[in-house]
Structure 1
Amino acid sequence: MRFTPEFMLSATNEAHFPVEAKTYNAPEIAFLGRSNVGKSSLINALLGSKQAHTSSTPGRTRAINFFALHEGSGDKKKIRPSMIFADLPGYGYAKISRSISAEWPSFIEPYLAERETLALAVCLVDTNIPPQPNDSQLIEFFKAMLKPYLVVGTKSDRISGNVLAKSLAALKKAHGVSEILPVSTKTEAGTKELWSRLQSVME
């Protein structure tokens, strides 16, 4: 199935959250992870376009950026979005100003805890570094809230074979999960399987 992506809006408070998700009963997929884990790059790889802004400087995303996915293209594009992606601000980067970090809970926590249209949270972890405590805290949050989530290991092209297997095993143990889907936006490894998992949410 082919989709046409469209940037919707950037939200910095609950009043900005798009109403289209509820109006059209379109499931939302949230992408979360540490700053510079590759959220925007993964979203762009899935959409097949550079909709999400990427930066070499961690912590540049300050808002929740929403992208609508419409079935078809051109004149055949359906107005009703089939799915909505939400690119959330990264966390865990010490150089982000405290004022910005302090603002995050005011709109991020309500979004994650109360957003009725949030169908799946994609929790991104870096396969190239040891397990991070704040990644575990995020995953535990979804476990406690009984919210559906999927843990995805980014940048898997940088390591391979036994090294990747050991990294995934360590991440699974540290985060208390049975599955981590490794992906690479550079080689596109794992992106088709991830896309299939995301499409299953629509069904």
Structure 2
Amino acid sequence: MKRIYAKFLLSATSPEQFPAPTVPEIAFLGRSNVGKSSLLNALLGTKLAHVSSTPGRTRAINFFSITDSPQRQQPQLYFSDLPGYGYARISKSIAAGWPKFIEPYLTARPALALCLCLVDSNVPPQNSDAQLIAFLRNVGRRFLVVGTKADRLSGNGRAKAKSVLREGLQIDDLLLCSAKTGAGIKELWTAIHSAAEE
């Protein structure tokens, strides 16, 4: 796999602050504490995204620019890290709890190539995850469900988790990943590049 060069670009709390939509964007979505920042860091091979043990730390959309060469002036991709949802102290539902800039990003952003919906592979399907998937289907967004923390599952556990999540979330495709062991990271990059090239 090629070396990745990534840098933090900006935090946006309104559509006016979003970067110009010049390159494909990959959005990272998931409930609070699902392991979004850890997975981002595993993909980037660096600790750019802040990992917190306190759920609901991300309150803005954080954009990261990605290239495969430090000499390259223009980014090839943006990663966007969205605020976690479903954390009781912050929100009752996605619609009520997410700041007002999330919906325009997911519905109207022209450069958004793929939404990665992160779910904890050790936890049964959650209503909030099903709501998110229904929302993305409704607005016609391409998405991939990624089961995080797969290192905590045994071989049989992985097969069972896949089947339970597929059925509960009514999806065909699911990728299990582990930020800790690196399992599934290569396959995730393949999915990201494939979406970015279309």
TM-score range, shorter chain: over 0.9
Is 1:3–1:72's contact at 8 Å kept on the other side of the alignment?
yes
TM-score, structure 2 as length reference: 0.93
- In structure 2, distance between residues paired with 1:198 and 1:97: 29
- In structure 2, distance between residues paired with 1:9 and 1:29: 15
Q: CA deviation at 1:189?
A: 0.4
Aligned to 2:34: 37
Aligned to 1:161: 155
Cα separation, partners in 2 of 1:144 and 1:137, compared to 1, 3 Å: same
Q: CA deviation at 1:166?
A: 1.1
Map 1:150-189 onto structure 2 (within 5 A): 150-189=144-183
Map 1:53-92 onto structure 2 (within 5 A): 53-73=50-70, 77-92=71-86
Over 3 Å off, 4+ runs: none
Would you say 1:115 and 2:109 are equivalent positions? yes
Percent of aligned pairs with the same residue? Answer: 56
Amino acid in structure 2 at the alignment position of 1:27: P
SS in 2 for 1:81: coil
Moved more, 101-110 or 149-158: 101-110
Please give the per-residue CA displacement for 1:114-149, whole angstroms capped at 9, x wherever unaligned. 000000000001111111001001011111111100
- In structure 2, distance between residues paired with 1:128 and 1:97: 23
Map 1:93-108 onto structure 2 (within 5 A): 93-96=87-90, 104-108=98-102
Is 2:147–2:175's contact at 8 Å kept on the other side of the alignment?
yes
Specify which of 121, 136, 141 is matched with residue 142 of structure 1: 136
Aligned to 1:4: 5
Amino acid in structure 2 at the alignment position of 1:18: P
Aligned to 1:49: 46
Specify which of 25, 28, 39 is matched with residue 28 of structure 1: 25
SS in 2 for 1:135: helix
Please give the per-residue CA displacement for 1:21-48, whole angstroms capped at 9, x wherever unaligned. 32xxx10000000000011110111011
Amino acid in structure 2 at the alignment position of 1:48: G
- In structure 2, distance between residues paired with 1:168 and 1:196: 19
Aligned to 1:13: 14
Is 2:85–2:98's contact at 8 Å kept on the other side of the alignment?
no
Aligned pairs, number? 194
SS in 2 for 1:152: strand
Aligned to 2:187: 193
Would you say 1:130 and 2:124 are equivalent positions? yes
Is 1:34–1:135's contact at 8 Å kept on the other side of the alignment?
yes
Unaligned segments of structure 1, at least 5 residues: none
Please give the per-residue CA displacement for 1:159-185, whole angstroms capped at 9, x wherever unaligned. 122122111111101111011100000
Cα separation, partners in 2 of 1:121 and 1:97, compared to 1, 3 Å: closer
TM-score, structure 1 as length reference: 0.91
**Superposition CA RMSD, Å:** 1.5
Q: CA deviation at 1:195?
A: 0.9
